[in-house]
């Protein structure tokens, strides 16, 4: 593998995380005025057609898929829907950096899930990294403290569904285009958000808020696209740790848009989680 391939993969991963965190920050800003369900529905009005257009031009929209892969896609779509609703509900009530720090445990939870349910070989070093990483998560959420509430629990449950989503994706054949999977997963989220606005109500928005929705939709679409390119350039063990750059963007956007900075315990817990995730990637590469 050429060094330039790894460099490009790392850049794509960093841009992907910037796009995802940018979307999260803009959605959190919108949730100050509108409901989570309305925000999801409005974003889907833009992101779903945009994903369809991109998939069409990349010849990834009208394809034949066998039933085994369809089952995986449908389970993944359900996990995507559940994780999105839980995550965005928690995001509306938690500091951006805190909930992003909790998400940094994903590489560890996916490794654990693959070992327990898929029988993948995980040595004692990576199991130790998973255990220490979970201690880092506990430091971030601090059960029993004033900052621990039902929204922190929702964030943890969201991590569980995202873990299921990422782990089940490994069961897809490589012939199934990633853009098609992202497009199919985005549809139920859009439809569910629209259906729920019947009960939560619809708040009129200004032109500026409409522009924020469009930018958020473009950002999340870019996040999916660059994530795909990142995984197709360079060694995964080299590229994947650059997902942790998302923590930098979360702190920056949290301060600029909401005036929030993580406290010392959150930073400590984040460093532990990121460190253990990086070590787990290193051990996988060695293995």
- Tell me the DSSP string of the chain: --HHHHHHHHHHHHHHHHHHHHHHHHHHHHTTTS-HHHHHHHHHHHHHHHHHHHHHHTT-SS----HHHHHHHHHHHHHHHHHHHHHHHHHTTS-HHHHHHHHTTHHHHHHHHHHHHS-----HHHHHHHHHHHHHHHHHH-TTSTT--HHHHHHHHHHHHHHHHHHHHTTS-TTS-HHHHHHHHHHHHHHHHHHHHHHH------HHHHHHHHHHHHHHHHHHHHHHHHHTSS-HHHHGGGGGHHHHHHHHHHHHHH-----HHHHHHHHHHHHHHHHHHHHHHH-
Flag the least confident range among 44-58, 79-93, 133-147, 201-215: 133-147
Give the mean model confidence (pLDDT) for residues 101-118. 86
The pLDDT of residue 282 is above 80: no
- In whole angstroms, give the CA distance from residue 37 to residue 85: 8
Assign 201 a pLDDT band (cuts: 50, 70, 90). confident
The pLDDT of residue 2 is above 60: no
What is the model's pLDDT at position 1? 47
Give the mean model confidence (pLDDT) for residues 78-88. 94
Backbone φ and ψ for 232, nearest 5 degrees, come out as: -105, 5
The pLDDT of residue 173 is above 60: yes
Given a contact cutoff of 8 angstroms between Cβ atoms, the answer to whether 123 and 279 are in contact is no
What is the model's pLDDT at position 234? 67
Flag the least confident range among 20-24, 31-35, 91-95, 280-284: 280-284
Give the mean model confidence (pLDDT) for residues 232-246. 76
What is the model's pLDDT at position 232? 65
């Amino acid at each position: 593998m050429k060094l330039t391939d790894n460099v490009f993969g790392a850049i794509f991963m960093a841009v992907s995380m910037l796009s995802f965190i940018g979307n999260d920050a803009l959605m959190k800003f919108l949730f100050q005025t509108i409901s989570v369900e309305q925000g999801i529905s409005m974003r889907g009005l833009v992101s779903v057609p945009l994903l369809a257009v991109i998939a069409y031009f990349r010849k990834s929209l009208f394809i034949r898929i066998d039933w085994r892969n369809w089952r995986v896609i449908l389970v993944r779509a359900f996990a995507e829907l559940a994780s999105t609703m839980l995550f965005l509900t928690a995001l509306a009530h938690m500091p951006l950096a805190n909930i992003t720090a909790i998400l940094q445990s994903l590489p560890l939870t996916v490794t654990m899930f693959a070992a327990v349910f898929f029988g993948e070989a995980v040595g004692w070093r990576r199991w130790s990294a998973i255990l220490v990483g979970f201690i880092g998560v506990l430091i971030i959420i601090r059960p029993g403290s004033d900052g621990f509430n039902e929204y922190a629990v929702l964030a943890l449950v969201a991590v569980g569904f995202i873990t299921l989503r990422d782990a089940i994706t490994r069961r897809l054949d490589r012939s199934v285009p990633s853009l098609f999977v992202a497009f199919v997963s985005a549809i139920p989220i859009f439809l569910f958000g629209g259906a729920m606005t019947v009960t939560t109500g619809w708040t009129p928005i200004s032109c500026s808020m409409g522009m924020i929705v469009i930018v958020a939709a473009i950002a999340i679409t870019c996040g999916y696209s660059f994530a795909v390119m990142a995984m197709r350039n360079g060694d995964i063990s080299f590229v994947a740790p650059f997902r942790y750059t998302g923590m930098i963007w979360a702190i920056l956007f949290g301060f600029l848009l909401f005036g929030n900075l993580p406290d010392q315990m959150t930073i400590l817990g984040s460093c532990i989680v990121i460190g253990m995730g990086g070590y787990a990637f290193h051990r996988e590469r060695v293995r």
